[in-house]
Structure 1
Amino acid sequence: MKNFWKNKKVLITGVTGFVGGNLVNNLLNSGASVFGIIRSENKFSFLYLEGLNEKIRLFSGDLMDHKLLLDIITEQQIEIIFHLAAQVEVGVGLINPFLTFETNVRGTYNLLEACRLAKQSGHNIESIIVASSDKAYGEYPKEKMPYRETYPLLPKFPYDTSKACADMICNAYSIDQYGLPIVITRFSNIYGPGQMNFSAIVPDGIRSALGYSTFIPRSDGSMVRDFIFSEDVVDLYMRIGKELSLNPHKLRGEIFNAGSNDPIDMKSLLKKIYNFVDNYEDLKIILNHMKGKKTKGEIQHQHMSFDKVFDFFNWKPTHSIDEGIQKSINWYNKNLNKI
Structure 2
Amino acid sequence: MSSPKRALITGITGQDGSYLAELLLEQGYEVHGMVRRASTEKFDRIEHLRDRITLHQGDLLDQRSLVDTLRAAQPSEIYNLAAMSFVALSWVQPTLTADFTGVGVTRMLEAVREAAPEARFYQASSSEMFGKVREVPQTEQTPLYPRSPYGVAKVYGHFITINYRESYDLHATSGILFNHESPRRGLEFVTRKITWHAAAIKHGLRDRLALGNLDAKRDWGYAKDYVEAMWLMLQQDEPEDFVIATGSTHTVRDCVQVAFDEAGLGDWERYVEIDPQFVRPAEVDLLIGDPTKAKEQLGWEPKTTFEELIRLMTRADLELLAR
Question: Amino acid of the residue matched to residue 134 of structure 1?
Answer: S
Task: Return 5+ residue gaps in structure 1 as ranges.
Answer: none
Q: Deviations over 1:5-64 (max 9, x none)?
A: x7111000110101110111111122111111112464463212xx11221111123111
Alpha-carbon distance between aligned partners in 1 of 2:154 and 2:226, rounded to the nearest angstrom = 18
Identity fraction in percent: 23
SS in 2 for 1:12: strand
Paired residues of 2:147 and 2:283 also in contact (CA < 8 A):
no
Amino acid at match of 2:112: C
- Give, as a single letter, the amino acid of the residue that structure 2 aligns with 1:162: A
Equivalent residue number for residue 228 of structure 1? 221
Matches within 5 A, 1:1-339: 7-39=4-36, 40=38, 42-43=41-42, 45-48=44-47, 51-119=48-116, 124-125=118-119, 127-140=120-133, 144-175=135-166, 177-195=167-185, 197-211=186-200, 212-213=205-206, 214-219=208-213, 221-243=214-236, 247=237, 250=238, 252=239, 254-281=240-267, 283-287=268-272, 289=274, 294-336=279-321
Letter of the aligned partner of 2:45 in structure 1? F
Which runs of 4 or more aligned residues in structure 1 lie more than 6 Å from their structure 2 counterparts after TM superposition?
290-293
Relative to structure 1, is the Cα distance of residues 46 and 232 closer, same or farther in structure 2, using a 3 angstrom cutoff?
A: same
Q: TM-score under structure 2 normalisation?
A: 0.91
| Deviations, residues 107-156 of structure 1 (Å, cap 9, x unaligned) | 1111100001125xxx521x111101001122126xx2111111111223
Contact 2:34–2:69 (CA<8 Å) still a contact in 1?
no
Paired letter, 2:210 = I
3-state secondary structure, aligned to 2:121: strand
Q: Tell me the number of residue pairs that the alignment of Structure 1 and Structure 2 aligns.
A: 316
Q: CA RMSD in A?
A: 2.3
Deviation at 1:287, TM superposition (A): 4.5
Report how far residue 295 of structure 1 moved.
Answer: 3.0
Q: Flag structure 2 segments of 5+ consecutive residues without an equivalent.
A: none
Secondary structure in 1 matching 2:140: coil
**CA 186–157 in structure 1, closer or farther in 2 if over 3 Å, else same:** same
Distance in 2 (alpha carbons) for counterparts of 1:95 and 1:44? 25
Distance 2:284 2:220 in 1: 15
C-alpha separation between the residues in 2 aligned to 1:56 and 1:37? Answer: 11
